[in-house]
Each structure stands twice: as C-alpha cells, then as structure tokens.
A = this chain, B = another copy of it.
Amino acid sequence: VTDHHQIGEVAQTVGLSLRTIRYYEEIGLVTPSGRSGGGFRLYTEADIARLGLIKDLKPVASSLETMGELLDCADRLASGDGDRGELGRRLGLAVDQAMQRCAQLQTRLDAARDALNRLAAVAVERAR
C-alpha cells in the first residue's frame, strides 16, 4: 500500500489543478503529509479525502477562509481538541449557512435553465 501520492496523481483523481492544490496549501487549507527527498509533495489518502471535501463544498462556500474555519471545526471535533458542545454548535451553524447557500444556488440554477429554454426557443423560432 503506497499511501503517498504525488500531486499530479492527486490532481487527476480529485479533479483540481496543480496550481489550485498548491494554492490551498499556501493559504493553509491542505498541507501534504510529507515531502520526498527532492521536495516533491506526498499526499496520503486522508489528504486526498480532504481535498475532495473542499472541492465538493466549494460551490456553496462564501470564501476559502470560511471554508477553512468549517474544516477547522470538523478537525477539532474529530481529534477531540476543544469543547465538543461549542465545536458542534459552530460546525452546525456553518453547515446551516452553507445549506442556505445551496438553496440560493439551486434557485439561481433553475432561473438559468428557464432563461436558457427561452433563448433556445428564440433560436429555433427565428431559424424557421
């Protein structure tokens, strides 16, 4: 089991660019668990899962900073570092906010589809 993957492989499987993955490291979102002798970033399965979670949450995050705070809450809950009640409340609040952004995005997406259907009708109608 080779639990250390190079950044190119990670980018491929998660669906993010090399630059994006490096940027997330720059701002402290995901730090690779190790480095090779030559300085190559080495990611574990856990690192990859974290990048996947970030990618999934991204469309409904207000910024990468708030994303970091959310992940920090989840991390500290998992590791038991801090008041569980307080952390649970904070995580719940962050999730609620993101859920509201889900609903907003869904509404906007539906509006986009409606607008596109109207445009499609114009396209074929004028063609005849």
Contact A123-B92, Cβ < 8 Å, known A109-B102, A109-B106:
yes
Taking residues whose C-beta sits less than 8 angstroms from the other chain, chain A's interface range is: 35 or more
User: For residue A105, which residues in chain B have a CB less than 8 angstroms away from its CB?
Assistant: 59, 105, 109
Contact A99-B87, Cβ < 8 Å, known A77-B122, A123-B77:
no
Q: Is the interface of A mostly helix, strand, loop or mixed?
A: helix
Q: Is the CB of B115 within 8 A of A56?
A: yes
Copies assembled: 2
Q: Is the CB of A127 within 8 A of B85?
A: yes
Contact A91-B119, Cβ < 8 Å, known A102-B109, A127-B85:
yes
Q: Which residue of B lies closest to A115 (CB)?
A: B56
Which residues of A are at the interface with B, using a C-beta cutoff of 8 A?
53, 56-60, 70, 74, 77-78, 84-85, 87-89, 91-92, 95, 98-99, 102, 105-106, 108-109, 111-116, 119-120, 122-124, 126-127
